[in-house]
Structure 1
């Protein structure tokens, strides 16, 4: 074997080992899949089919880049291929963290050779972007309908040649909710025209009806919409032969006797062969809104996701099912979570907590590490909740371990860096300059959103700035609110790890699951800040 062949073979083995090390794989390898298909916080998913390709997007709220674009050939294995929003709009508004604001419940549709994504920002209105290639470039956002409290938008190009859009209201902004509205659009989908009308009123037993998705199937127009709230809710279907209604309604999916709470808010997808499927989320507290896939049976013209096991006419989620028949078998492709930082781009799994400045972090010119700068905290600093320069990714599984190797180059008092579990409660293990020396610390903050401050859990002097940091997250079964526990550890040689500090219960952020990742900050103003060089970040 030549040297070149050997290194090619070694690269293949390393790639295979990385795939095997991924912490969640829904493809069972025997023609079946298990739910959730994505054990990651892709909240409010929507999916559309383009020939034999499938594309998904999801809520990204305040995180940047936003509007993730995922691709699949078999509806079970998904790859994150890019984002439709490099920055949140308006750009200046989102340079500071706007937790829970931004992109709410987008929809993705294919029309005349282009993909369209619509979403509502509850503070500004309904936006749209489009692209011929799902990997981009995507157009600049267009304001389709301006207004405070407008959310959860979905278009349809109907048989009459006209375009329409369904949407809902955020009660927190509009003082109104639980109704589904509809308006006509210009033919190019860029502007709402005419009066909006109410096509469904959920006040009679279906409160918080929102997240409408528009379809045409057979002789009917369908609106699929969740109701009942995020964690305890259910899924409605509405239908009418006239796009303006009146619409009749049926509950088509609920928890029933399963352990899948709040199964709703997603996408109805019909394959070329006529088979139908429904994507939805389940809110799992710290893990966020994870994604399930249900087979759909049409009963008397109604789409029933899951299986009606108790014969009440309503579907219940399945835990395992036969994979969709797409004509061939595709390999399992778990989402990528690790990053060696060996190219000029970091992995697509990473997001900032607000629109970033270029100096927050960048790759090295010689390819081999990520540099994060110790950016000065604001004068009114209380906690990391305020900072945009948090470099984070989603929890990828119920049980996982994340390990990073870094080198700390502190310059000023208060410089610090670390491995972070971030939510409304957060905790990290890291290095900090204190009285001119470097310490290893664990700090924790409870109720950061409402003004909680950090408390030191552990601190030791350390004379080494190259260090390995690790967090291990384990699922805690049958816990009503905190269903995960995180344990921190460190190593000076990458081989022997020592537990450090106290156990921590991760908590969700504002409408998002807990996230993990890296940060670097300082309490001192300087014109040449300290920094950390991150060699790699590995998840298994």
Structure 2
């Protein structure tokens, strides 16, 4: 915060089940990625407070045939990147995600016996369910503990707590076992402010490391546009700037939850606005593309090609699906409905905004050339069972023969409420 202190959470988005590792002067964190690809994100830090996403450990999910379609609460979770003080330690959560605590077990040998103790719990703070994290030691000999807090649609944000060894050898985390909100920074070299990227200019048609598909992308050998351009997933790589997404033909165009070709990033954990410019290049009747909030419920705003060749601005949504509910007679879990009346979009272009307020309440707006206008009612973002809501870019077309064309997205920006960009533009995926 500029005065030698920091405020938690240090990663204010869905970085669930964090674990930490120090290598020399560098700290690495990994977290659950569930059914998104690439998986197992790898943020890097030099001071445990300022983080930058440097890559992913898993380019694809296996077995591949299980992840051809989205499996949002499946996949990869609770990764581990521990021998301290001559003891073998097991750190384990208990008590449930919203009401739980962090337990510790120790033994001088692998086969026990183990002693146990609660080392972190909510106490009188607003950090409910603080648990399931990682313990790391700095070169100066300080111990720190990173843990998550489940925050509904925002997913599981990451908190950082000082940790010390008590007189009896047990770890004491935070303020005598209770989370702190503000604390002095770790005794590490000063670092410039940083955070995982959100903004993207899509240089050369490539997207940054902050983006993930909702399932395994198609192998590059199967991806060729009508012009023979190379692809990254369903994105065509061009020589200029702008992300060109293929309008994928699908029978599930009315339910974004079932699509593997939604390109997503995490929902910001504090009030913010995301925006992107869109051009619908496809001439296919029914082709559509847009900006979405995707969770157990979803809403999106974008452009759709009409049967008469015109392009309309559309805004649609669908409500949450009750867990275990049977499909509708048509075999669908749900079907989107209009959130606002369609209107013509001359030139097939629009700038799109989603304002994310407190409680993950989202307001949509657009500009098709005559100024920014609000669209539809407030939409409350919802998580899946274990995964927070996502911001997504998508391009679709009805079932049919041949290549259905594409849509081009440019200048994606995320801006914190009342301040500048959430992050600097990202380096592109490799």
Q: TM-score range by the shorter chain?
A: 0.7 to 0.9
Q: Are the aligned partners of 1:412 and 1:524 in contact in 2 as well (CA < 8 Å)?
A: no
Q: Are the aligned partners of 1:412 and 1:433 in contact in 2 as well (CA < 8 Å)?
A: yes
1:47 matched residue in structure 2: 20
| TM-score, with structure 1 as normaliser | 0.70
Q: Which among 409, 412, 417 is matched to residue 537 of structure 1?
A: 412
Q: Which among 360, 363, 366 is matched to residue 487 of structure 1?
A: 363
The 1-side partners of 2:205 and 2:286 are apart by 30
Secondary structure class of the residue paired with 2:376: coil
Q: Are the aligned partners of 2:204 and 2:238 in contact in 1 as well (CA < 8 Å)?
A: no
Secondary structure class of the residue paired with 1:348: coil
The structural deviation recorded for 1:381 is: 6.2
- Equivalent pairs, count: 391
Unaligned runs of 5+ in 1: 1-27, 109-214, 309-314, 476-482
Q: Which among 227, 232, 239 is matched to residue 106 of structure 2?
A: 239
2:379 matched residue in structure 1: 504
Note if 1:474 corresponds to 2:336: no
The 1-side partners of 2:107 and 2:47 are apart by 31
2:192 matched residue in structure 1: 331
The structural deviation recorded for 1:376 is: 1.1
1:24 matched residue in structure 2: none
1:82 matched residue in structure 2: 55
Deviation string 1:353-383 (CA, Å, 9 cap, x unpaired) is: 00012445324432211111111113x6661
Q: Are the aligned partners of 1:487 and 1:504 in contact in 2 as well (CA < 8 Å)?
A: yes
| TM-score, with structure 2 as normaliser | 0.88
Which deviates more from structure 2 when the two are superposed, residues 224-233 or residues 380-389? 380-389
Secondary structure class of the residue paired with 1:418: strand
Secondary structure class of the residue paired with 1:279: strand
CA RMSD of aligned residues (A): 1.6
1:458 matched residue in structure 2: 340
Q: State the structure with more CA Rg.
A: 1
Deviation string 1:435-457 (CA, Å, 9 cap, x unpaired) is: 33322111111124752321111
1:261 matched residue in structure 2: 128
Deviation string 1:36-72 (CA, Å, 9 cap, x unpaired) is: 0000111100111111111111100000000111111
The 1-side partners of 2:204 and 2:46 are apart by 27
The 2-side partners of 1:530 and 1:381 are apart by 15
Unaligned runs of 5+ in 2: 224-232, 326-332, 416-430
Deviation string 1:98-118 (CA, Å, 9 cap, x unpaired) is: 22111010111xxxxxxxxxx
The 2-side partners of 1:349 and 1:444 are apart by 25
Q: Which among 165, 182, 207 is matched to residue 298 of structure 1?
A: 165
Note if 1:38 corresponds to 2:11: yes
The 2-side partners of 1:372 and 1:223 are apart by 45
The structural deviation recorded for 1:532 is: 0.5
The structural deviation recorded for 1:492 is: 2.6
1:147 matched residue in structure 2: none
Deviation string 1:397-436 (CA, Å, 9 cap, x unpaired) is: 3111011011102322221111100000110111112333
